[in-house]
Amino acid sequence: MLLLVRGSLLLLLLLLCCRTAHCVYKIPLKIFSPGSFSSSSAGLQLQAPKPNQTAPRSALSLASDQSGAVNFLDMVNNLKGDSGRGYYMEMVIGTPGQTLNILVDTGSSNFAVAAAPHPYIATYFNRAQSSTYQTSGRSVSVRYTQGNWEGELGTDLITIPHGPNGTITINIAAILTSDDFFLPGINWQGILGAGPDPSVEPFFNSLVLQTGIPDVFSLQMCGAGLSISTASEPAGGSLIMGGAEPTLYQGSVWYTPILQEWYYQVEVLKLEVADQNLSLDCKEYNTDKAIVDSGTTLLRLPVKVFNAVVEAISQMSLVQDFSSGFFAGTKLACWVKGESPWRFFPKISIYLRGTNSSQSFRLTVFPQLYIQPVTDLDGTLNCFRFGISSSTNGLVIGATVMEGFYVVFDRAQKRVGFAVSSCAEMNGVPVAEIAGPFPADGACIGTFPLQEPLLWIIAYSLMGVCALVLLILLILLVVPCRCRYPDAEITDQSSLVRHRIK
Ligand SMILES: *[C@@H]1O[C@H](CO)[C@@H](O)[C@H](O)[C@H]1NC(C)=O
Ligand SMILES: *[C@@H]1O[C@H](CO)[C@@H](O)[C@H](O)[C@H]1NC(C)=O
Ligand SMILES: *[C@@H]1O[C@H](CO)[C@@H](O)[C@H](O)[C@H]1NC(C)=O
Ligand SMILES: *[C@@H]1O[C@H](CO)[C@@H](O)[C@H](O)[C@H]1NC(C)=O
């Protein structure tokens, strides 16, 4: 509240000082803290099943396929939300059914729902009122870089009103306590981690096994160009379970291999700002990994890459003396209503390796996707934020980019596909493009830098010393207090909850 009032006062002052239409106003934005991530990568391909071509039947069943077991059209528009607060889907949990909104997050793997009241959520899953809920007696805790929750593992029946027919039994983490996980303004009460997990059978695996749908899901998020803080009319989207729905995209689907399955990790080969190659070693793009994450709001870039992108944008954008606070995410840029800032900014392209590893394709996002409307303060100004942030643990293709594309998570064939989304347009003008094939060179995945035999010897010696130290630590710490941590602890590095605007 206080912040808003101060913002308005500042704006008034700025308005008084600076009345020309081209003036850039800046106000402080209450900003999320920089998150962090971790891990590493390799590989690629491409290909393009057109709606009427025969796609690999084993993996994709198309809506136009009458014999298909699933009717994808029933799932169109089953999501609501926006990039800032996430896209969620309605699910019915337990017997009798309790309806909750569940956030879709490809960057994590737990299916977890609120199981106790919390000030920021309207409802929760009441286990005592479900006759089919079974507890495992195991407790579970998940920590995000920002935010965490603790709860209990159990199983129950669920149905998805706008999903595949049938009732399935799934693992549920019942959230009993949490910090910074449920935030003001959200309209969901649980999270569907759509990534794999080694310790508990994840939601999507259960869904595939029990309903017999193909091991593929695809996502369309339609928040491009909509103000992030306009809560009254949330944007829509679709989570198609079992395949890809041809009416949700245009042109071909281009595929890149999934390198590491616990994140949807891909290999980024090159970045261009206004068609100009950034002069960076391509390994920088994949340090320490590059992932596709619907639960991350922004396009997140490793620090070196981020700095190069900001420099290129600053040089190319026609806006003079643009505040660095805007690029750092601490300030909004506001234009007088009616002025559009987008023509001042260049387009950005991300090259991914194709499934044929000597080829690549590129995703191009227009400024409409990464210069994002946040709010229209007092009706006279349109304010925008920078939809790209720096990251200390890898590149994340988050909602900023995903809102331009229909993204197919083809788990069966270990590849992620991209096509131009049918909702990636503003006033009839496309805001995303996809093109290829382009030639692709050598690997951009970081490799262990030691080549010399001597260095290997040193490395192994150090590892030996470390092992010894670890052993001693284990004896000192674990043995005397074996019973201190009886519960499984699953760590989850989804940045989902870390990069929402609120
Ligand atoms: C694809 O469309 C073309 C032209 O619309 C048609 O000639 C062809 O038979 C179609 N292919 C299949 C497999 O349906
Ligand atoms: C579920 O079954 C009904 C009736 O058989 C059918 O009309 C509907 O399309 C099915 N939904 C899905 C998602 O397959
Ligand atoms: C892009 O720039 C980097 C560094 O200057 C260079 O190594 C790479 O070959 C360039 N890529 C292309 C496709 O021009
Ligand atoms: C892969 O791409 C290269 C270069 O475009 C091409 O020569 C080769 O035939 C392709 N391989 C396959 C299996 O399609």
Q: How much is the pLDDT for 197?
A: 66
Look up residue 303 and give its DSSP letter: H
**In this structure, which ligand is nearest to the CA of 75?**
2
Omega into 96 within 30° of 0, i.e. cis?
yes
CB 401 within 8 A of CB 350: yes
Residue 170 belongs to domain with CATH number:
2.40.70.10
Most confident of 37-41, 133-137, 258-262: 133-137
CB 351 within 8 A of CB 434: no
Instruction: Give a yes or no: residue 497 inside a domain.
Output: no
List, in order, residues 6 or more apart from 28 with CB less than 8 Å away.
Answer: 3, 6, 7, 10, 330, 331
Q: How much is the pLDDT for 25?
A: 31
Taking residues 282-307, what's their average pLDDT?
A: 93
Instruction: Give a yes or no: residue 396 inside a domain.
Output: no
Task: Check pLDDT > 80 for residue 58.
Answer: no
Instruction: Give a yes or no: residue 165 inside a domain.
Output: yes
Residue nearest (by alpha carbon) to ligand 2 atom 4: 165
Residue-averaged pLDDT of the chain: 78
Boundaries of domain holding 210: 78-215
Residues making up the chain, counted from first to last: 502
Q: Name which residue leads in pLDDT, 162 or 56.
A: 162
Task: Check pLDDT > 80 for residue 320.
Answer: no
Matching residue, tokens 């014999």: 67
Which has the closest alpha carbon to 408: 356, 452, 366, 355? 355
Examine the residue annotation and report whether 293 is marked as an active-site residue of this protein: yes
For the purposes of burial, counting CB atoms within 10 Å of the CB of 16, is it exposed (0-12), middle (13-18) or buried (19 or more)?
exposed
As a whole-number percent, the residues of the chain with pLDDT over 90 amount to 50
Does residue 164 line the site of ligand 2, with CB under 6 A? Answer: yes
* Tokens coding 388: 């790209």
- Ligand 4: residue of 45, 359, 361, 438 to mutate (most ligand atoms within 8 A of CB) is 359
Confidence band for 233, pLDDT divided at 50, 70 and 90:
low
Examine the residue annotation and report whether 180 is marked as an active-site residue of this protein: no
Instruction: Give a yes or no: residue 400 inside a domain.
Output: no
Does residue 359 line the site of ligand 4, with CB under 6 A? Answer: yes
Task: Check pLDDT > 80 for residue 1.
Answer: no
As a whole-number percent, the residues of the chain with pLDDT over 70 amount to 73
Confidence band for 121, pLDDT divided at 50, 70 and 90:
very high
Does residue 279 line the site of ligand 3, with CB under 6 A? Answer: yes
Confidence band for 374, pLDDT divided at 50, 70 and 90:
confident
Instruction: Give a yes or no: residue 121 inside a domain.
Output: yes
Instruction: Give a yes or no: residue 346 inside a domain.
Output: no
Task: Check pLDDT > 80 for residue 67.
Answer: no
Could you read off the pLDDT of 401-459 as tens digits, one per residue? 999 999 999 999 999 999 999 999 888 889 999 999 999 988 898 654 444 455 566 66
List, in order, residues 6 or more apart from 241 with CB less than 8 Å away.
Answer: 70, 75, 160, 163, 164, 204, 207, 213, 217
Omega into 437 within 30° of 0, i.e. cis?
yes
Beta strands 148-159 and 134-143 are antiparallel
**In this structure, which ligand is nearest to the CA of 65?**
1
Instruction: Give a yes or no: residue 95 inside a domain.
Output: yes
Q: Rounded to an integer, what distance in angstroms lies between the CA atom of residue 286 and that of residue 291?
A: 9
Q: Rounded to an integer, what distance in angstroms lies between the CA atom of residue 488 and that of residue 378?
A: 50
- Ligand 1: residue of 52, 62, 64 to mutate (most ligand atoms within 8 A of CB) is 52
**Domains in the chain: how many in total?**
1
Q: Name which residue leads in pLDDT, 466 or 451.
A: 466
CA of 351 to the centre of ligand 4 (A): 17
Q: Show the beta-strand stretches assigned E in 338-387.
A: 348-353, 359-365, 371-375, 381-386
Ligand 1 atom nearest to CA at 53: 13
Instruction: Give a yes or no: residue 127 inside a domain.
Output: yes
Q: Show the beta-strand stretches assigned E in 210-275.
A: 216-221, 235-241, 249-257, 268-273
Q: How much is the pLDDT for 487?
A: 36
- Least confident among 247-261, 328-342, 485-499: 485-499
